[in-house]
Chains A and B, each alone.
Chain A
Amino acid sequence: MLDFLAEAGEYLPFLLRGALVTIELSLVAMLFGTVTGFFIALGRRARTRLLRWPLNAFVEIMRDTPLIVQLLIIYFTLPRWGLTLGAFPAAILGLSLNLAAYVSEVFRSTINAVDRGQREAAISLGMSGVQLYRRVIMPQAGLAALPILGGYFIALLKDCALVSFISVNELLRNASIVISDTFDGGNIYLLVAIIYFIMSFASSRLILHLENRLAHNRRSGPDRMSGTVPTMEKEAVR
């Protein structure tokens, strides 16, 4: 036990620097992946097959091959075709595209789930397509997607360990470096697991908190702006 603590104290800063890279990767990939995934979902609803077909194929391929293979191809195979990326950009690209495929499926179903009657109501008020999306579809489809996207973020945080294979110095790879220095894997891996757990657990609490707040804002109803109704009543009478 004392051994473990001593070891932890010695290597912790180095491991935490790796953890920071893991968090960085997750946040950036989450952002790119969500935005790209949203636009893929829109493209897959387009009327022209020219847009729908390649996007469907993309999503299918990303979901039917392992992420690790995708990362290896981006980092090791693309250079042969003239596209050389550094380890970190390659990792971001791979993680984002993979996530985007899954996210596009999420948005596809939450967009489809928005009440048809409400779409028709918006259209019959004279809204344009963009206004319909901005004002009616996205607020509802986005809120419905949030818990699922939260779950994907936790998964992403842990999937980032895979990019150690393409030499990004994130948490797991820093651990491997420590181990090849000390020739003792046992305790370091335990430490790595603890750090992952703390990161995931904190994220899931944070996401839950965010969801509750959004749900609460929407539900708080008449109390939220109490006081405004009487003044409006006066204005209306005038």
Chain B
Amino acid sequence: MEKFDLQGNPVRALNSALHQEQARMKEFEVSNPGGKHNVACGARYPCSVTIHGHVGYYCAGMNQQADIVIHGNAGPGLAENMMSGSVRVHGNASQYCGATSHGGLLVIQGDAAARCGISMKGSDIVVGGSIGHMSAFMAQSGRLVVCGDTGDSLGDSIYEARMYVRGRVGSLGTDCIEKPMEPEHTEELQALLEKAGMEHRADEFRRYGSARRLYNFEVDNADAY
């Protein structure tokens, strides 16, 4: 196990270690993150990173293959543009968590703020609590699961991402609609809930996605723009 105490130390040494081939299959323990930004960014190899405390902006940014666990809260842009691997926060996450993420699994055990999953491109995001407004804005693909409620304008201008919500939806954004839960959806959702360690039944959720009315410009839809 490799230990990094961030008390009074920059994140450079930690991030640099995560970028080396030698990081493969290693365990990293990070203490005293103290809300620092860019903790564990650009990890490239399968390894595990455990962070004890709160992190600032862009923790686990562009993660590839690493499994990163945060015992605390995370600031804006957690796991932005993640490609693969997993990121789990035991506390809450601020704005734009999982923004543009292409792959991997992001689990927020608490709540996530506004713009959760904005422009997501293929990842899975599972939130144990509730999420803020404008979440999954322009979300392209992947799956967003919310065990609590959502804020307003959920899935505004959404493309092909799928959303499952257990609680109340504040309001749906432009071109986002509720869609029927078919067996394939219940099945994929159940698997996702289990993978994320959430103890809910898939049939408690409703599904939302794109009405696909804005995919090609039509003048009669001008009010929607």
Q: Do A and B bind each other?
A: no
* Chain A interface residues toward B at CB < 8 A: none
* Chain B interface residues toward A at CB < 8 A: none
